[in-house]
Copies of this chain bind each other. A is one copy, B any other.
Amino acid sequence: MAVYTPERSDRDRASVREVLDRARAEGRSALTAPEGRVLAEAYGIPVPGEALAGTAEEAAALAAELGLPVAAKIVSPDILHKTDAGGVEIGLNSAEEVAAAFERITANARAHDPDARIDGVQIQQMVGGGVEVLVGATTDPTFGKVVVFGLGGVLVEVLKDVAFRLAPLTREEALGQLDSIRAAEVLSGVRGSEAVDKGALADLLVRLSDLVSDFPEISEADLNPVFASASGAIAADLRFVLDFEPAKGPDKFSREEILASMERIFKPRSIAIIGASNEAGKIGNSVIKNIVDGGYEGGVHPVNPKAKEVYGRASYASITDVPGDVDVAVFAIPAKFVASALEEAGRKGVAGAILIPSGFAETGEQELQDEVLAVARRHGVRLLGPNIYGYYYTPQKLSATFCTPYDVAGGTALTSQSGGIGMAILGYSRSTRTGVSAIVGVGNKADIDEDDLLTFFGQDENTNAIAMHLEDLKDGRAFVAAAREVVPKKPVVVLKAGRTSAGARAAGSHTGALAGDDKVYDDILRQAGVVRAPGLTELLEYGRALPVLPAPTGENIVIITGAGGSGVLLSDAVVDNGMSLYEIPPDLDKAFRAFIPPFGAAGNPVDITGGEPPSTYEKTIRLGLEDPRVHSLVLGYWHTIVTPPLVFADVVIDVVSKARAAGIDKPVVASLSGDTEVEAASQKLFEHGIVAYPYTTEMPVKVLGAKYRWARSAGVL
């Protein structure tokens, strides 16, 4: 294989600049084929030999020089769809055919549009053979420049088998992109065909990604088809779409700026409640009650000009009257009063304004929201919301919300864009006693969004997993950057709602049309190492379970089960979740067999059979924990009189605790089949660091799979 040097020093930026400037000057939003070729050559993207012919004789001569067969294509700044204009002929095999084609094509073009300027006819070497692929780039509204790769023809057209990556991308990422389409095997050669040169294809992807990154006005690019073979990759057709007025992104803050604000917001020394009230049922009443009753130990200052005291605390007419510094102002007043009250809060120097009220962008009042944001920016105040339930941060016993306090401290930070989902988070967490560090509503995201929160939680010593519900990202690149920073330290789980509502998007290129929202989100969140939750159920379960499980240190998974039937379903689940069963070596198999009845099945699953006493579970689980070749255990429990559910739970807790005390900390998940006592047993196991569920063989393994996905992204595996 050739050695590729995707050094950026070999890029000829000046030539590209010249072409784009001319297009801009001429008010064009697309490049001609020769212009596209200039861009490709400037960035080292291989293209077929070609040249422009001004006459039929020139065409024939060029064809002979380039080598037959050739294609002939009209070149006109006024004809975008060349085929429709009768401006393309292919497979021309002799000088005579080429000359005749020249005449036909120019005549067709004139007939198609008598005013079209005709620059000539492009004579192009015809390439083919190998595997036909599509390489493209587009400008995603969320993520900006992305590159796409897929196999040509039916696979792209019908099955949408494509992979997206953020541009620019590294050579390693490009190689990963090639491997991540479903039909990737084709590139390695199937049915006796030769493998293509993946290095050449990856290099081409890198070069295109550099080109669109260096020149943001290239909004879309199609290299389609690209012919990939054992000897390289060559782009047979190029198409570039331009946009000289790209949309402006949201404001950017540095990591230091973000953390300075977030530290004060999550760990405030004092809080003012704007609109605190003594009237039961009012939001301003619920908020102050929850903050005080939740056990928050900092200063709590009601602001309400009509009251002297609220909930036993001195009330102030304005936040500016509150003595001392105030870190956070929680707003519990109607939308129309927010801007002026925020002005005062800004003057007071608060770090964060928690905007509970609705009545902003979500009800069409975008201007009111913009006005509030402008006030905040003027004073350097960060806004959470508006249109939220508030936020919880258990390390500070802080429940700044109109819901109810939450007090089970733990490692999971949860955020939601929707209040309804936030309430589900709260109820589910309470019901399962999930250990939570924070629950945060982001609502309309006028200001603070997921990447700010990721930045804070990523370095927060009280948080060891982050689970986020979101419907969109204001700035996909900032999110990816924050996620890449956090993922090596702790898992980030994302439920992206609105997956299937993408619908059609207007697009000027093939690549643009392929970029349905969800596929782009899916590929790029994966690229950023985020664990995607397929639904709300998984967001909640992963959020609950991931911090409980230790990080796996290898891929060898062993199932130990008392119920053969559970073993089969657990095996299905292991494979469904991208893991595989460890092929147990003979010595270890023999060691397992020593503990189980002769008709039990060793191998994997290790089937200890039903009706065994607690000691059989104990011995086999201990063996699995102590053998260094085994990295994770999946347990299947079957309720029997001999080993009742809580006895099983105690045995597992005991053997796992002893192993942990001895420095062995492996992920252990369990599926409990039995009568209703298995519910209490599962809860007890969970509270002791064994992720356990009753009546399901899927969920424990899904959770383990999520932990593995994270561990692989984080580089701990």
Q: Interface residues, chain A, CB within 8 Å of chain B?
A: 151, 153-155, 157-159, 182-183, 185-186, 190-191, 281, 358, 362-364, 403-404, 416-421, 423-424, 426-428, 430-431, 469, 471, 495, 497-501, 534-537, 540, 561-566, 568-569, 571-573, 575-576, 599, 610-611, 636, 638-639, 641, 673-679, 694-699
Q: Which residue of B lies closest to A161 (CB)?
A: B159
Give the residues in chain B near A676, CB-CB below 8 Å: 427, 430-431
Smallest CB-CB A-B distances: 3 pairs: A418-B565, A420-B563, A363-B599
Interchain residue pairs with CB less than 8 A apart (23):
A154-B183, A154-B190, A362-B564, A404-B675, A418-B566, A419-B563, A419-B565, A420-B565, A421-B569, A427-B676, A427-B678, A427-B679, A431-B694, A471-B565, A498-B571, A498-B572, A499-B576, A500-B576, A534-B698, A535-B569, A535-B696, A535-B698, A537-B698
Give the residues in chain B near A678, CB-CB below 8 Å: 427
B695 touches A362 (CB 8 A): no
B565 touches A497 (CB 8 A): yes
Give the residues in chain B near A416, CB-CB below 8 Å: 565
What CA separation (Å) do A501 and B157 show in the bound complex?
32
B419 touches A364 (CB 8 A): no
Q: Which residue of B lies closest to A83 (CB)?
A: B192
A424 touches B673 (CB 8 A): yes
What CA separation (Å) do A699 and B364 show in the bound complex?
32
What CA separation (Å) do A398 and B495 show in the bound complex?
46
B673 touches A638 (CB 8 A): no
What CA separation (Å) do A334 and B613 show in the bound complex?
19
Known: A573-B535, A675-B430. A419 touches B610 (CB 8 A): yes
A563 touches B154 (CB 8 A): no
Known: A427-B673, A497-B568, A501-B568. A563 touches B418 (CB 8 A): yes
- In the assembled complex, the CB of A293 is this many whole angstroms from the nearest CB of chain B, namely 15
A638 touches B362 (CB 8 A): no
- In the assembled complex, the CB of A353 is this many whole angstroms from the nearest CB of chain B, namely 21
Known: A154-B155, A404-B675. A638 touches B696 (CB 8 A): no
What CA separation (Å) do A636 and B158 show in the bound complex?
34
What CA separation (Å) do A639 and B674 show in the bound complex?
33
Give the residues in chain B near A573, CB-CB below 8 Å: 535
What CA separation (Å) do A110 and B497 show in the bound complex?
66
Give the residues in chain B near A696, CB-CB below 8 Å: 535-537
Known: A190-B154, A281-B641, A417-B565. A675 touches B403 (CB 8 A): yes
- In the assembled complex, the CB of A134 is this many whole angstroms from the nearest CB of chain B, namely 13
Known: A159-B182, A697-B535. A427 touches B568 (CB 8 A): no
What CA separation (Å) do A568 and B430 show in the bound complex?
24
Q: Which residue of B lies closest to A571 (CB)?
A: B501
Known pairs A154-B190, A423-B674, A424-B673 / 17 extra A-B pairs, C-beta < 8 Å: A151-B154, A155-B155, A158-B182, A159-B183, A363-B599, A419-B565, A419-B610, A420-B563, A420-B636, A427-B673, A427-B674, A427-B675, A428-B695, A431-B676, A501-B571, A535-B698, A536-B696
Give the residues in chain B near A534, CB-CB below 8 Å: 698
A695 touches B419 (CB 8 A): no
What CA separation (Å) do A563 and B536 show in the bound complex?
14
- In the assembled complex, the CB of A305 is this many whole angstroms from the nearest CB of chain B, namely 25
B694 touches A420 (CB 8 A): no
Give the residues in chain B near A151, CB-CB below 8 Å: 154
What CA separation (Å) do A630 and B420 show in the bound complex?
25
Give the residues in chain B near A426, CB-CB below 8 Å: 674-675
What CA separation (Å) do A639 and B430 show in the bound complex?
15
What CA separation (Å) do A676 and B363 show in the bound complex?
29
Give the residues in chain B near A191, CB-CB below 8 Å: 153, 157
What CA separation (Å) do A698 and B358 show in the bound complex?
27
Q: Which residue of B lies closest to A574 (CB)?
A: B500
Q: Which residue of B lies closest to A693 (CB)?
A: B537
Known: A281-B641, A568-B471, A575-B500. A694 touches B419 (CB 8 A): no
From B154, B572, B694, give the contact of A501 (CB < 8 A): B572
From B364, B599, B695, give the contact of A427 (CB < 8 A): B695
B673 touches A423 (CB 8 A): yes
Give the residues in chain B near A575, CB-CB below 8 Å: 500
Known: A183-B154, A364-B599, A568-B471. A562 touches B404 (CB 8 A): no
A420 touches B157 (CB 8 A): no
What CA separation (Å) do A257 and B69 show in the bound complex?
75
Q: Which residue of B lies closest to A699 (CB)?
A: B537
Give the residues in chain B near A571, CB-CB below 8 Å: 498, 500-501
What CA separation (Å) do A679 and B679 show in the bound complex?
15
What CA separation (Å) do A639 and B424 show in the bound complex?
9
Give the residues in chain B near A563, CB-CB below 8 Å: 418-421, 423
